[in-house]
């Protein structure tokens, strides 16, 4: 869960994303439209993620499904 903190400057909110870390590196969602909108922050895109792979050749975030399994709801494919 992200932390949203109003600052002394008008309309300025400090957003601190949660990093999911392990030996491979980390992953975090830096922007998720509905969550940010709930805190009064609007932008014209849906989601942004950041990841770091600590070692060369690290593979992260691959999902494979065979029919008739449905695509995940977050998948835009």
Q: What is the pLDDT of residues 20-74, one digit of tens each?
A: 888 888 888 888 888 889 988 888 888 888 888 888 887 776 666 667 766 665 5
Predicted TM-score of the model (pTM): 0.59
Range list of H helices, 1-77: 33-38
Angle at CA 6, nearest 5°, toward 2 and 7?
A: 125
């Amino acid at each position: 869960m992200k932390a949203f903190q109003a600052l002394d400057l008008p309309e300025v909110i400090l957003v601190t994303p949660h990093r999911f870390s392990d030996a491979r590196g980390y992953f975090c969602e830096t922007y998720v439209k509905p969550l940010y909108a709930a805190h009064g922050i609007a932008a014209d895109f849906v989601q942004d993620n950041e990841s770091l792979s600590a070692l060369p050749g690290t593979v992260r975030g691959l999902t494979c499904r065979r029919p008739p399994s449905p695509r995940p709801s977050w998948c835009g494919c």
